[in-house]
């Protein structure tokens, strides 16, 4: 490899790290074997970013009940549970905070109602 090329690569790798570059090469080899083009990968990332943005905007409409996931710091949505057959959890919880990050999906169940949780969140009290 030419010294000039090697120097260029070094500069490009510095902000992402060598380990990430190795992961990326493995990923790109796999994508090529699966006949997935760079253009298709970019389209996937753009579509995924747009769908995640929609979810965040949805929560921004209720800033007072916004809570960040303790596992991954993504926003969490607050939903009632055990109010119908389809929402049974097998315990006596009344509400759940669910992480919107699809790779995390952390859930925190409460024995308090959504109204009580919202009041505590507004007062910055423990739920």
Q: Which residues bind Zn ion (CB under 5 A)?
A: 69, 71-72, 74, 99, 101, 104, 106
Pairwise CA distance, residues 95 & 65, whole Å: 13
What is the residue-wise DSSP string for 11-45? HHHTTT-HHHHHHHHHHHHHHHHTT--HHHHHHHH
Nearer to Zn ion among residue 77 and residue 101 (C-beta): 101
Minimum CB–partner distance for residue 118 and Zn ion (Å): 20
Nearer to Zn ion among residue 96 and residue 99 (C-beta): 99
Nearer to Zn ion among residue 104 and residue 108 (C-beta): 104
CB 82 within 8 A of CB 89: yes
Minimum CB–partner distance for residue 99 and Zn ion (Å): 3
Minimum CB–partner distance for residue 101 and Zn ion (Å): 4
């Amino acid at each position: 490899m030419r010294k000039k090329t090697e120097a260029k690569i070094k500069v490009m790798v510095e902000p992402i790290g060598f380990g990430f570059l190795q992961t990326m090469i493995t990923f790109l080899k796999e994508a090529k074997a699966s006949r997935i083009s760079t253009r298709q990968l970019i389209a996937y990332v753009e579509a995924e970013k747009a769908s995640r943005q929609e979810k965040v905007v949805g929560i921004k409409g209720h800033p007072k009940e916004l809570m960040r996931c303790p596992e991954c710091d993504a926003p969490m949505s607050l939903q009632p549970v055990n109010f119908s057959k389809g929402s049974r959890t097998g315990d006596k919880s009344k509400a759940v905070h669910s992480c919107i990050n699809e790779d995390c999906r952390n859930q925190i169940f409460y024995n308090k109602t959504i109204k009580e949780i919202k009041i505590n969140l507004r007062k910055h009290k423990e739920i």
